[in-house]
Amino acid sequence: MKIFHARYAAMPELIVKDVPRLLDEIRQCRTCETLIPEPNPVLRANSQSKILIIGQAPGTKVHLSGVPWNDASGKRLRDWMGISDAQFYDEALVAIVPMGFCYPGKGKSGDLPPRPECAPQWHDLLLNFLPNIECTLLIGQYAQNYYLPGTYKTLTDRVKHWRDCAPDTYVLPHPSPRNQIWLKKNIWFEQDVLPQLRETIKSVLV
């Protein structure tokens, strides 16, 4: 199941013509400057990227380091994928394009949701510069609601029906330690989904 769109494919003389220039434009984005603690867009991509990871938004640790998934969630995600840190951070292999590029700030019960401006403003444009993506990981409800609207009512239902999208796309829960209860309740995820995910990732990276 491919998620790419061509909304911007015919746009005339845009300010960018390749991934490096586009990434520079995104990293200079200040659309939400007055709505977030501090603008610091965090993402990675390369025109050769084979795997696309679409998650939520940077947390405080990633915001400070500028390195995506440089936390406990990232460690678990790499384990789920069955790849090394070196492979994960090789932009020729893995593109990391969150729903919100900047840390959104704190809410009453954790980080706020990703800012809603990022994906409509930048995603389609960036995805058109990534022609070699063979597998996309939609991590968490925000990515899934945006790219798979109306498919199933809950994240659990979507993940249970992962075969509807695989192997082009995998719908995954967020690998945050806060989701440990979900993982314990849904043992089938590690037993059924992860082995196939790792097999797909391995075949893509050969």
**Domain encompassing residue 24:** 19-205
Angle between helices 72-81 and 194-205 (to 10 degrees): 80
Say if 9 falls within a structural domain. Answer: no
Say if 47 falls within a structural domain. Answer: yes
Distances (CA, A) of 198 to 60, 133, 201: 28, 16, 5
Model pLDDT for residues 147-159, shown as the tens digit of each residue: 999 889 899 999 9
26-54 burial code (b ≥16 CB/10 A, e <16): beebebbeeebeebbbbbbbbeebbbbbb
Say if 8 falls within a structural domain. Answer: no
Strands 110-111, 106-107: pairing is antiparallel
Residues 122, 30: Cα–Cα separation, whole Å: 13
Say if 87 falls within a structural domain. Answer: yes
Residues 95, 97: Cα–Cα separation, whole Å: 6
- The yes-or-no verdict on residue 13 having pLDDT over 60 is no
Tokens of 166: 């695989």
Residues 57, 48: Cα–Cα separation, whole Å: 23
Closest by Cα among 174, 175, 168 to 197 = 168
Work out the average pLDDT over 129-143: 97
- The yes-or-no verdict on residue 15 having pLDDT over 90 is no
Residues 50, 19: Cα–Cα separation, whole Å: 14
What is the distance in angstroms between the CA of the first residue and the CA of the last residue of the chain?
A: 21
- The yes-or-no verdict on residue 144 having pLDDT over 80 is yes
- The yes-or-no verdict on residue 12 having pLDDT over 50 is no
Tokens of 123: 């995603």
CA dihedral 147, 150, 153, 157 (to 10 degrees): -60
Say if 3 falls within a structural domain. Answer: no
Instruction: Write down the pLDDT at residue 110.
Output: 83
Quick one: pLDDT band at residue 1, thresholds 50, 70, 90?
very low
Say if 10 falls within a structural domain. Answer: no
Quick one: pLDDT band at residue 202, thresholds 50, 70, 90?
very high
- The yes-or-no verdict on residue 172 having pLDDT over 90 is yes
- The yes-or-no verdict on residue 176 having pLDDT over 70 is yes
Which CATH number belongs to the domain containing residue 72 in this structure?
A: 3.40.470.10
Work out the average pLDDT over 126-130: 96
Work out the average pLDDT over 28-48: 96
> Which DSSP helix (H) or strand (E) runs through 77?
helix 72-81
Domain count, the chain: 1
Tokens of 99: 């729903």
